[in-house]
Amino acid sequence: DAGVIQSPRHEVTEMGQEVTLRCKPISGHNSLFWYRQTMMRGLELLIYFNNNVPIDDSGMPEDRFSAKMPNASFSTLKIQPSEPRDSAVYFCASSSGGEVTEAFFGQGTRLTVV
Amino acid sequence: SQKIEQNSEALNIQEGKTATLTCNYTNYSPAYLQWYRQDPGRGPVFLLLIRENEKEKRKERLKVTFDTTLKQSLFHITASQPADSATYLCALGSGNTPLVFGKGTRLSVIA
């Protein structure tokens, strides 16, 4: 398996624009997580899905953020409208679920909002 | 609220020495603890897992301890090498809930 695949790797956009980040989890994994990483706050969980169903989105900062998982092999994180404070590295991770499992991370998307 | 602290943002160590990184937590009772390595521009990669009922785990030059009384984990890299230079993250987990990560410690091994 190629691992967790995220696109794009880098995104530069103007404030107010819509941004869509994409993730393909590892085949067979039933849990998917979106994290955001900044120097100040480290890795923060935004939302996670289990069997394509959103379980906890309490980490989503505002209504400007939304996430979907239409099927087991694809998820999106959308920011609309984007703001400069959204600049960060966004990671998608997947795991096989269960009581104790490791998370497999993608390479991340570095988002810069100017 | 849950709080995870990793002893320092950065740690410099001489090649060949043992690097020791600390992870402390409060307001949490994790069932297990994991350590990840993150290189610049890449996502974290899993290294080791230790459960609450385990005191110590080893994997090659890596050793992890877990003290639920002190609410602390120590991560050791023996005979450190420049290739070990990276950021190391600890993460706490319990049941089916997602991992909660510390901010990480950036380790530099100097030749």
Reported as a single tens digit per residue, the pLDDT across A2-11 is 899 999 999 9
On average, the pLDDT of chain B sits at 94
Do A107 and A58 form a contact (C-beta atoms < 8 A)? no
Do B11 and B19 form a contact (C-beta atoms < 8 A)? yes
What are A66-101's pLDDT values in tens digits?
A: 999 999 999 999 999 999 999 999 999 999 977 678
Q: How far, in Å, are A45, A92, A113 from residue A18 at the CA level?
A: 21, 19, 10
**Is residue A29 pLDDT above 90, yes or no?**
yes
Taking the C-alpha atoms of residue A45 and residue A80, their distance in angstroms, rounded to an integer, is: 19
Interface of B with A (CB under 8 A): 31-32, 34, 41-46, 49, 51, 89, 91, 93, 95-96, 98-104
pLDDT grade for A28, boundaries at 50, 70 and 90:
very high
Least confident of A41-55, A98-112, B41-55, B61-75: A98-112
* Residue contact A100–B41, C-beta within 8 A: no
How many residue pairs bridge chain A and chain B with CB atoms within 8 Å of each other?
51
Look at residue A1 in the predicted model and tell me its pLDDT.
67
Look at residue B95 in the predicted model and tell me its pLDDT.
79
Mark which residues 22-51 of A lie under 8 Å from B by CB: 31, 33, 35, 41-43, 45, 48, 50
**Is residue A113 pLDDT above 70, yes or no?**
yes
**Is residue B2 pLDDT above 80, yes or no?**
no
Taking the C-alpha atoms of residue A28 and residue A80, their distance in angstroms, rounded to an integer, is: 31
Q: Which of B2, B101, B105 to mutate to test the interface with A (most CBs of A within 10 A)?
A: B101
pLDDT grade for B102, boundaries at 50, 70 and 90:
very high
Q: CA-based angle A100:B91:B61, to the nearest 5?
A: 90
pLDDT grade for B96, boundaries at 50, 70 and 90:
confident
Taking the C-alpha atoms of residue A25 and residue A73, their distance in angstroms, rounded to an integer, is: 6
On average, the pLDDT of chain A sits at 95
Look at residue B62 in the predicted model and tell me its pLDDT.
98
Look at residue A73 in the predicted model and tell me its pLDDT.
96
Look at residue A2 in the predicted model and tell me its pLDDT.
82
**Is residue A21 pLDDT above 70, yes or no?**
yes
What are B56-80's pLDDT values in tens digits?
A: 999 999 999 999 999 999 999 999 9
